Structure 1
Amino acid sequence: MKKVLVFAPPPTANGDLHVGHLAGPYLRADIYARHSRMLGNETYYVCGVDEHQSYVAFKGRQIGLDPQETADKFAAEIEQTLAAAHMQIDLMVRPTRLPHYKTFMEKVFQQLQRDGKIVEREEPCLFCDACQMYLFGAYVRGICPHCDAPSGGNSCEACGRPHEACELRHPACNICGAKPGVDKLTRFFMPLSPYEKQLREYFDTAIMSSSIRALGEQMLKDGLPEIAVTHPANWGLSAPGLTGQKIWVWFEIALWHFAATQALAETIHEPGGCERFWKGTDVEIVQFFGFDNTFFYSLFFSAVFQAMDPQICLPQVLLANEFYRLENLKFSTSRNHAIWGRELLRDQNVDLVRFYLAYSGPETEQTSFVFAEYEQTVKKELLEGVQGWLLHLGSAVSDEYSGIAPSPGVWTETTHSFYDRLNEILRKAEASYSAKEFSTQRAARLLLELAREARFFSHSESHWRRVSDRRLTRNTVIALELLAAKTLALLAAPIMPGFSACLWHDLGQTQSLQALSWPHDLEWIRPGTLISNLNRNYFELYEDVKSLSRPVAAHT
């Protein structure tokens, strides 16, 4: 057994989470962590809330709240949405409520200043004369200097590369729309080039999505930039050494990981504290995030960690996802083209939503939440496919065996073949949940493949029930179907925990599904076990998805 620390990015507290957010790092991290626990690992899923982004203060201006009130409002909504989606998060960390957080940030910042790893520079910046403010982050828009896509102040969602706000082409103030001027300003910068050797070695050894590796290798080839780590602002943590400036939130989030881990260590009474996780040889650290944040989580954070202490172990696994769209268009709250997570989860069975988001999630390419496809998938694959097969199996066990699991009897070529297919699905599912091949899409499709194989097998072998001399063959058929149902409950547990727990109980299994180790081999249901209620509606909260034929209006 090893310790596994799974991180999902702290969502920015400038709005609730819509379905696009949930389908990305939050559900993916939850599925990974649940599977890791089933492997017997001591696993912790850590998330939080990003309260100090410029987007929080910007949103507050729009809705008439100060930044802290804005952060409080949306942090509460974010936590409620994650809970509604049955995310099994072990610790949610809010910076403004974490003791010693500010002191820790200042201490590390000052140490890096003294070590010469953060340096003072006078560089060009954007300034809006009309608004009398320095523009960065949420306050400016323009054209990315690297890929010509529309971009915000300090990084591009399209290509994932960072840039200075003054490098934007055709910049405009997001408050008044005016074209800003260019001024000189002294800020603190962190050069990344001193860590090039360590970063190259890291990219050669870590498990990471190809999109992460490609961006990192190209930036290493082009030469690593210097990154401004302070900005003049009225919201955030004050930067030691420069009056009126705040620590850039992405530098803060890098250090947030250690503050969060220390809070976790105190919660679980880990005597080694934060270092037990970040310097332990028996610890796996896994980081999920969206592709647009690839630079920060792969290059920038790694450089910050090495600057702090070269003995820190960098995350062994980095897994990125692409953007999730709605009806093939980008989610947009301003155009009311969005579905808030809590609104969907309020009306739909949570496991159905989790399944579809895993099934259609944006792993290596942008994908889309399409209502017609959601309806078709739920009805055909889950209600008619999975539910239909379990109903048929429940009736057979009840009518032919008085609800008691039989022992396997006589085997045929067909029963041997079905057993082999179950084994193959188990192996593929194990790979789909692993770090090297992690794919919720493949895992979800394997659940459907198992149900389709079982349904086909059930109907093809149902004829033996009419042949009295082949009772032992029929016993093998039903025992194999029960084995398939048990395997389905186990394989589906990371994606559909509620469904799996109910099915597990109905199959007469008394031990906790969460406490079990992942099955490396198929495990029969013990003969004589009482099988109950397989004819129940496992998705009873499901309602007609035609009621969702148009996007739920987003509240801006």
Structure 2
Amino acid sequence: MITRAFDRSAMSWSYEMHLQPMLSASDIEGLPFGSVFGSVPGHTVSKRHAHQDGEMFIVLAGRAVVLLGDEERELGPGQVCYLSPFGFHEIRNDHDEPFDIVSVYWEHIPSAVAVLDKAPPRDQLADRTLVFCPPPTPNGGLHLGHLAGPYVRADMLVRALRSMGRDARYVTGTDDHQSYVAAAARLRGTSPVNVATAEGDAIVATLRAAGVGVDRLTRPAGDPEHAGRIRKLLDLVAASPAVTEEERETAYCPSCELSLHQAFARGACAHCEAASDGEICEACGRPNEARELTGVQCRICGTAAVTRPERALWLDLNAYADELREYLRVSSTSPDLQILVERLLDEGLPPYRLARTSAWGVDLGEGRALDAWADLALTFLDAARSESEDGGPARIALFLGYDNSFYYAVLLPVLAFAAGLGEHLPAAFVTNQFLHLGDEKFSTSRGHAVWADDALAAAGPDAVRLALLRDAPEGRVTRITEERAGRLTEDPLYLAAHAWLDGFAALGDGAVPGTGAWTDAHREFYRYLNLTTRQLDGLVLPEAFSARGYVDLLESFVRRCAEFRATEEVARRVPSLAEEARTSLALEYLAAKVFAALAWPVTPGLAERAWEWLGLPGTPVREADWSFLPSGTRCTAPAPVSALTPAASGRS
């Protein structure tokens, strides 16, 4: 006889609850299940998670709410509940007493696979999604490193969602009030508004040339109502008890008579010793104050900084630490962002200065302007609230560079909590690291860059987008060489897709036949078209987004289609297989239709031309289960790859 007893002193902390082993196959040979005692302390919530196992909770003591997906049930002693495989679940104990259970779990792979089959990826997509990107700072043009981060990847998601019939809107703008704009204006001997306007116009034109379609564009310097709207939101924030007006020592340049912050300060990060501007370190992502930098000096004149007292509004970020933890617990976050924010929360969040001694930005009077990052966060909330009011509730996905993690995953949520606008925060964060040129970061000041406009003019938007999505810096630093940047049209997928589509010109008179007799190979190719579509659908879920994985699978798709043609061409010449030949040709034309829809997020120019060539209306549509082109459809042969010019290979 083997016995086990519930023993709190023998429990360990896992899944954000207490667990104690009970019985498993390691105790009893052949036992087809595992089991643990569990206890969720009062006023806590267990970790939200899923397993491939089926699981059963048997309640021993206490009461709590068990959540499975969108369902929730309150359970008490003697009750039992079953949790299906891959169902995200958690236990919320709002009472004083612990919630004690026995968990019994078992693996049955057919059941797990059946659950996945019944829940295809597109069923997890919201009906309406707002896709936000941090507005680029208009102090210079965009290089490939900029485009490779959030901008093209976010456009890829928007197109994929629209092709699946979802309402998706792309929101970005230009970050006009950044200190980097004011610093550039000083160095160029002009005004910040001139810099923001001219450089901002160029940035918008570059995004358009890259096929990035922006639905809502925020341009603060050119919006006469921006300051009034943002000041109203700041009033909501300032009403929070976590906001105080204090006098603190601040880095200062006596030569330029400048309060040094952000772009005006330069030194070394006190945490990682990397070169850093004021208020944020790009290398480690940690916030700082300019006066905390090692060897801080004025970027304008190089004078070593001194300090002086300045009075300003300060926000106690730590006052919202618990709300921030809960928000991030239920949001989808990338591992690098999660590591940073959890570390900052564990160390204690620093206070954040909401007003700067500056003449550039939203004027707050007395020679002060709203901090540029606070301005950016409130602009985000203003846009999100307006979008919801105009079009209804939406799920928000935010694409951002890792160096912006603090501002978007800490400062933005805390400002939203303080203003009572938490419902307009992102549900998913999709981050990126940096794309390097060779072994070093892109650098405008050192001329170490490949400008986006030059690459787009030379290779066209399709080739540029494909290269940046193939080498997207997702979860890691990636690299592109100057040689490869000059030969973007030689990408293997770019060439293979054109060559395969060119081959349709040799298939006959361009008339699509109806299907005839099917072979096993035909059946499996049709199955492949549908299964690959589902796989690619899964890679555009914001929570599982992978541009790199998408490009790899799309390239494999084109190879498979080319191989299907190569093996089928022989059979089409056999007179006794005329009925099978019709099915073969119908499948080829269907594959072109599938490709156009699947490629549209990556190479929109090529995809739209293929869609039009197939006689299909509008923009490419991604079907859940693919239907054949109508028999008798006449397709005009696509232009051969040799006839393509950069200007023709994408839509402006």
Normalising by structure 2, report the TM-score.
0.76
Correspondence for 1:533: 637
Structure 1 stretch displaced more, 462-471 or 7-16: 462-471
Structure in which a larger fraction of residues adopt strand: 2
1:417 paired with 2:542, answer no
Name the CA shift for 1:376/1:340 in 2 (closer, same or farther; >3 Å): closer
CA distance in 2, matches of 1:410, 1:370: 50
1:513 paired with 2:619, answer yes
Whether the aligned pair in 2 keeps the contact of 1:306 and 1:312 (CA below 8 Å) is no
Which of the numbers 409, 419, 443 marks the counterpart of 1:308?
Answer: 419
Which of the numbers 173, 180, 184 marks the counterpart of 1:59?
Answer: 184
Correspondence for 1:549: none
Structure 1 stretch displaced more, 363-372 or 445-454: 363-372
CA distance in 1, matches of 2:219, 2:639: 44
CA distance in 1, matches of 2:186, 2:544: 44
Structure in which a larger fraction of residues adopt helix: 1
1:353 paired with 2:464, answer yes
TM-superposed deviation, 1:8:
0.9
Name the CA shift for 1:325/1:437 in 2 (closer, same or farther; >3 Å): same
CA distance in 2, matches of 1:9, 1:205: 22
Map of 1:101-112 to 2, 5 A cutoff? 101-112=226-237
Which of the numbers 314, 333, 337 marks the counterpart of 2:448?
Answer: 337
Name the CA shift for 1:143/1:505 in 2 (closer, same or farther; >3 Å): same
CA distance in 2, matches of 1:328, 1:539: 35
TM-superposed deviation, 1:530:
1.0
CA distance in 1, matches of 2:422, 2:292: 35
Correspondence for 2:437: 326
Structure 1 stretch displaced more, 412-421 or 518-527: 412-421
Name the CA shift for 1:538/1:219 in 2 (closer, same or farther; >3 Å): farther
Structure 1 stretch displaced more, 96-105 or 496-505: 96-105
Correspondence for 1:547: none
1:395 paired with 2:503, answer no
Task: State the AA in 2 paired with 1:502.
Answer: R
Map of 1:46-125 to 2, 5 A cutoff? 46-125=171-250
Q: Matched residue of 1:88: which SS?
A: coil
Name the CA shift for 1:376/1:458 in 2 (closer, same or farther; >3 Å): farther
Whether the aligned pair in 1 keeps the contact of 2:462 and 2:602 (CA below 8 Å) is yes
Higher relative contact order (CA 8 A, sep 6+): 1
Whether the aligned pair in 2 keeps the contact of 1:349 and 1:539 (CA below 8 Å) is no
Which of the numbers 490, 496, 503 marks the counterpart of 1:385?
Answer: 496
1:256 paired with 2:368, answer no
Structure 1 stretch displaced more, 297-306 or 99-108: 99-108
Q: Matched residue of 2:490: which SS?
A: helix
CA distance in 2, matches of 1:126, 1:14: 23
TM-superposed deviation, 1:313:
3.8
Name the CA shift for 1:523/1:307 in 2 (closer, same or farther; >3 Å): same
Correspondence for 1:221: 346
Correspondence for 1:365: 476
CA distance in 1, matches of 2:642, 2:380: 38
TM-superposed deviation, 1:371:
4.2
CA distance in 2, matches of 1:383, 1:34: 19
CA distance in 1, matches of 2:485, 2:138: 29
CA distance in 1, matches of 2:374, 2:409: 13
Structure 1 stretch displaced more, 442-451 or 469-478: 469-478
CA distance in 1, matches of 2:236, 2:556: 55
Correspondence for 2:369: 246
CA distance in 1, matches of 2:418, 2:639: 59
TM-superposed deviation, 1:383:
5.1
Q: Matched residue of 2:542: which SS?
A: coil
Whether the aligned pair in 1 keeps the contact of 2:499 and 2:641 (CA below 8 Å) is no
1:195 paired with 2:320, answer yes
CA distance in 2, matches of 1:190, 1:170: 27
> What whole-Å deviation, never above 9, does each CA across 1:359-402 have from its counterpart, x for those lacking one?
11111111123244456773352454111122223311x2xxx2
> What whole-Å deviation, never above 9, does each CA across 1:502-532 have from its counterpart, x for those lacking one?
10111222x2125x4x321222222221122
CA distance in 2, matches of 1:411, 1:483: 15
CA distance in 1, matches of 2:494, 2:129: 35
Correspondence for 2:606: 499
Whether the aligned pair in 1 keeps the contact of 2:139 and 2:195 (CA below 8 Å) is yes
Between Structure 1 and Structure 2, how many residues are aligned?
A: 522
Whether the aligned pair in 2 keeps the contact of 1:2 and 1:41 (CA below 8 Å) is yes
Correspondence for 1:185: 310
CA distance in 2, matches of 1:481, 1:501: 18
Name the CA shift for 1:24/1:481 in 2 (closer, same or farther; >3 Å): same
Task: State the AA in 1 paired with 2:613.
Answer: D
Whether the aligned pair in 2 keeps the contact of 1:138 and 1:174 (CA below 8 Å) is yes
CA distance in 2, matches of 1:190, 1:403: 67
TM-superposed deviation, 1:291:
0.5
Task: State the AA in 1 paired with 2:419.
Answer: M
Structure 1 stretch displaced more, 426-435 or 460-469: 460-469
CA distance in 1, matches of 2:330, 2:474: 21
Whether the aligned pair in 2 keeps the contact of 1:450 and 1:484 (CA below 8 Å) is no
1:39 paired with 2:164, answer yes
Whether the aligned pair in 2 keeps the contact of 1:499 and 1:538 (CA below 8 Å) is no
CA distance in 2, matches of 1:469, 1:374: 51
> What whole-Å deviation, never above 9, does each CA across 1:3-25 have from its counterpart, x for those lacking one?
32111111111111111111111
Whether the aligned pair in 1 keeps the contact of 2:455 and 2:485 (CA below 8 Å) is no
Whether the aligned pair in 2 keeps the contact of 1:395 and 1:535 (CA below 8 Å) is no
> What whole-Å deviation, never above 9, does each CA across 1:225-280 have from its counterpart, x for those lacking one?
2111112122112235xx21211011111110233346x65xxxx8x35xx75xx3
1:524 paired with 2:628, answer yes
- The percent of aligned pairs where both chains have the same amino acid is 33
TM-superposed deviation, 1:295:
0.7
Which of the numbers 254, 266, 278 marks the counterpart of 1:141?
Answer: 266
When the two chains are superposed, the root-mean-square deviation of aligned CA atoms in Å is 2.1
Task: State the AA in 1 paired with 2:489.
Answer: V
Whether the aligned pair in 2 keeps the contact of 1:328 and 1:367 (CA below 8 Å) is no
CA distance in 2, matches of 1:254, 1:448: 38
> What whole-Å deviation, never above 9, does each CA across 1:45-76 have from its counterpart, x for those lacking one?
11111111111111112222111111111111
Name the CA shift for 1:534/1:111 in 2 (closer, same or farther; >3 Å): closer
